[in-house]
Structure 1
Amino acid sequence: MMIDIVSAIQSPNASLAVQQPTQSDFSTWFSNEIARANQALGTADSQLKQLAAGDPIPVHEVMLSLEEAQLTFQLVTQVRNRLLEAYQDILKMQI
């Protein structure tokens, strides 16, 4: 159960609304994170190519883009690994 905190903060006299999470919340989030990781990797790659070509791009921006891409990719990879572990645990359960 999720409580809509933002609306409670905006109108403190209103009662807290309890919402049932939809089944697509996680899949939507995971799809968005994969797209975000792909975009971060593409941006980092393009900036790295620009730097290698001698374009005037600050090195610190390239390094920040590379680090952001790495962290985003690690997040997606760890979530995937945890999902696979949970799936394998479910398969091992006795019925």
Structure 2
Amino acid sequence: MTNMIGIGPFITIPLLMTALGGPQAMLGWIVGVVIAITDGMVWSELGAALPGSGGTYVYLREGYGRERWGRPAAFLFIWQFILSGPLEIASGYI
């Protein structure tokens, strides 16, 4: 739920355009699009390879192995999610 784009780009677009202006601003957008498409392709491959519910938790657990690093990596993901979730909501309220 917290892995989505918020209102930040709509606030920073005018700042980016006034600071850079011209073709540099478009170059920044092109780099951002390439990164976003690459990230989307990675997540779609993970979703196709490991169908089911669980998302990042399952990807970490299965990717690093259930017996070795998978359990601590998945635990740390959930732990940081529990801690950062309320902070993200609070920062959106400000």
Q: TM-score range by the shorter chain?
A: 0.3 to 0.5
- Using the size of structure 2 for normalisation, the TM-score is 0.38
- Higher relative contact order by CA 8 Å / sep ≥ 6: 1 or 2? 1
Higher strand content, 1 or 2: 1
Mark the structure with the bigger radius of gyration: 1
